[in-house]
Amino acid sequence: MAYLSPEQHTIVSDAVGEAELVTSGEIVTVLADRSDGYSDVVLVWAAALSFTAMSLFAAFPAPFMDLWDALVGGWGHEWTTGELASMTIALGLIAFALGWLLLSWDVLRFALTPGPVKTARVHACAIKHFKVGAERRTHGRTGVLLYLSMREHRAEIVADEPIAAIVPAEVWGEAMADMLVEIRQGRIAEGLAAGVRDVGQVLSEHFPRAEDDQNELPDRLIEV
């Protein structure tokens, strides 16, 4: 799913190019639709619904049995142990299938995914993109990744080791805040550009641009 137009991509890439004019740091931007499919979360919820349905039947069997007798048009009868077991299993399977089907809807799946789980998955995905696209790919190991995951409404800034050793994580929080102010208003490209400018300013203080500095990583926004 593409979130930005070519013109909006240009806003971000221009901001990266301008920021790198004053620093030897290399800034990479990644915009992701989501950081994970959360199939394990779907499985947990479906299993929970399944066990809930079976537990309710075990605790209050009469309403279920009366409903079944009414649906099949028969008279009430004495349920055998095998019939009770079969009904329990059937209810569990139906509840599991319904839960899995309902949670296939993205809106519900992301709404029911715990916040800490989203945060951890976004962080892990940002690290993965950083290792592939920026880590140790510059001469002075001065790569920084700005990662924005839309479905989770979360962002990450990941820096190469020489930068992380000098710049405290709290400093990146200011860049994150400026970025999210724009993004919350629907201005995604402008938000990323604001974050890039802040990161560039921090990098220029610790890693100023040398005369022979070369652009080692692409300035373009990577949308995945």
- Examine the fold and report which residue of 111, 144, 161 is the final residue of a domain before the chain moves on: 111
> Tens place of pLDDT for every residue, the chain, 224 residues?
678 889 999 999 999 999 888 888 888 999 999 999 999 999 999 999 999 989 988 888 777 777 776 766 566 567 777 877 888 888 899 999 999 999 999 999 999 999 999 999 999 999 998 887 666 666 667 788 999 999 999 999 988 888 888 888 788 888 888 888 898 998 999 999 999 999 989 888 888 887 766 666 777 898 88
Q: How far apart are CA 187 and CA 146, in angstroms?
A: 16
DSSP-assigned letters across all residues of 75-94: ---PPPHHHHHHHHHHHHHH
Type of residue numbered 74? G
Other CB atoms within 10 Å distance of the CB of residue 58: 12
> Same domain for 58 and 11?
no
> 133, 217 in Cβ contact below 8 A?
yes
pTM for the predicted model, two decimal places: 0.82
> Same domain for 118 and 96?
no
> Same domain for 74 and 143?
no
Question: How far, rounded to the nearest angstrom, does the alpha carbon of residue 104 sit from its chain's CA centroid?
Answer: 16
Q: How many domains does the chain have?
A: 2
Provide the domain limits for residue 203: 6-37+114-223
> Same domain for 218 and 161?
yes
- Examine the fold and report which residue of 87, 111, 135 is the final residue of a domain before the chain moves on: 111
Q: Is residue 216 part of a domain?
A: yes
